[in-house]
Amino acid sequence: MYFTSLYYYKNLFIIELIISEFLYCFNLKKKDKFILRFALITAICIIVGFAIPIFYNDAIFSSIMFLSLFLMTIPLLKFCYDEPWINIIFCALASYTTQHLAYVTSNLATSLISWGKSPMVDIYHNSSNGIFTFDGYFIAWVLTYLGCYFIIYLVTFILFAKKINKSENMKVKNLTLLLLIACGLLVNIVLNMISIYNPHNATTNIVECIYNFLCCVLLLYGQFSLLHTKELENELSFVKKLWHQEKEQYQISRDNIDLLNIKCHDIKHQIRQIGKNKSISEDVVKEIENSISLYDSIVKTGNNVLDIILTEKNLYCKKNQIILTYIADGAKLNFMNEGDIYALFGNALDNAIEAVVKIKETEKRIIELKIHTVNNLLTINIRNSFDGSVIFDESGLPKTTKEDSSYHGYGVKSISMIVDKYDGNVSFKTNNKMFSVNILIPLQ
């Protein structure tokens, strides 16, 4: 049973698997002379495929053979890509699942066309290569086979493979679940082999194909959900780190402003004493006092944290010719954590300042802040003028305009997370060159 249909198909399987692995590793970091390396591993895989004889034609031998061929490709992929082992294994696992999904789809399509008589199953039962005879039936099968593999590979590349980024750490937190997904794929393949080698009717074959198809889809979805969950965990960790830094910054700002006001008060007192002694003229004294008053203009809203933020931002705005106006009942914020208040308004005002400083006409640099209550709702509205355009993502959050978006855009996400923490709602809108952040939080 050396030159059986299965003998030839295992070589076709290697080509299918290598193509799938190439698609999933498409965005990975390639080593020097990649084309030569990839051509070499392809040749090695094909040679090994031809060299492996078919000792037994049963479910156990076939399962072990295909699994061994798959495991052989993992170190060969490492030879081509400059990535950690976990990244290689992750992509290889997804590739095998996709190859099996394409096989099942092809089997299902040919089974539906001929109602159970699928060449994909006949491969395992023919003791010769008679299945590969060039007739109309064979041509129809080839076209169906190529069409199914092309569609599955294209769809999975768009939905899954494109989401894999170069040098991304794919080490997921829940390794147990990833191992279960790998075991699920193994069980699915073994059960498929057992089903193939046991006699069954056309209806059973079609039902089994549908079952295998759904299993492969769920395995791929579960595997990449782990990757997405890891990204969300990293993002949450980064935002929490920002909150911690902002809390420390709040303490520094509060101390600095307190120190500044003490110094300003002392200087004004000393100037008055000098003025009384007639050392300098009264006009000069008033002029100096007015200059110092710029730094002695503590904002009083009823909330100490908001006072510090507005005082700090007000000084910056005056220096950069930005019109900052505010009508704020800060006492309504007292139920919120100090760190949350600083992060919420600090990020919102920083984003507004960043937008208005880009406007050339200084008279158009406007920022407005309003905080008041309506019934049992705390309403916060922050508006600012802007130049250019604002693009929103699918979740309604404005996208960063900075070229490197890797570490930007977290201010907006931080605002959303803080509002969500207090069971509130936040929306971002633009109208007549004014960008607005509208927040509603139920009062506690």
**Which of the four pLDDT bands, split at 50, 70 and 90, describes residue 173?**
low
- pLDDT tens, residue by residue, 182-212: 888 888 888 888 877 776 677 787 888 888 8
Contacts of 159 (CB under 8 A, 6+ apart): none
- pLDDT surpassing 50 at residue 404: no
Q: Mean of the pLDDT values across residues 409-427?
A: 83
Q: Mean of the pLDDT values across residues 380-389?
A: 90
**Which of the four pLDDT bands, split at 50, 70 and 90, describes residue 167?**
very low
- SS3 of 197, please? helix
Lookup: tokens for 199: 């006699």
- pLDDT surpassing 50 at residue 72: yes
Return the higher-pLDDT residue of 413 and 437. Answer: 437
- pLDDT tens, residue by residue, 41-54: 999 999 998 888 88
Q: What is the pLDDT of residue 39?
A: 94
- SS3 of 169, please? coil
Give the mean pLDDT of the chain: 79
Q: Mean of the pLDDT values across residues 276-300?
A: 60
Q: What is the pLDDT of residue 367?
A: 94
Closest CA to 231 of 406, 105, 101: 406
Q: What is the DSSP letter of 132?
A: -
Q: Mean of the pLDDT values across residues 301-312?
A: 83
Give the percent of the chain with pLDDT over 70: 72
- pLDDT tens, residue by residue, 218-264: 989 888 887 766 666 655 565 565 556 556 555 655 666 665 666 66
Sheet containing strand 434-442, strands side by side:
323-328, 366-374, 377-385, 434-442, 425-431
Angle between the 202-276 and 85-114 helix axes, to the nearest 10 degrees?
140
- pLDDT tens, residue by residue, 101-120: 999 999 888 888 776 566 66
Return the higher-pLDDT residue of 238 and 154. Answer: 154
Q: What is the pLDDT of residue 102?
A: 94
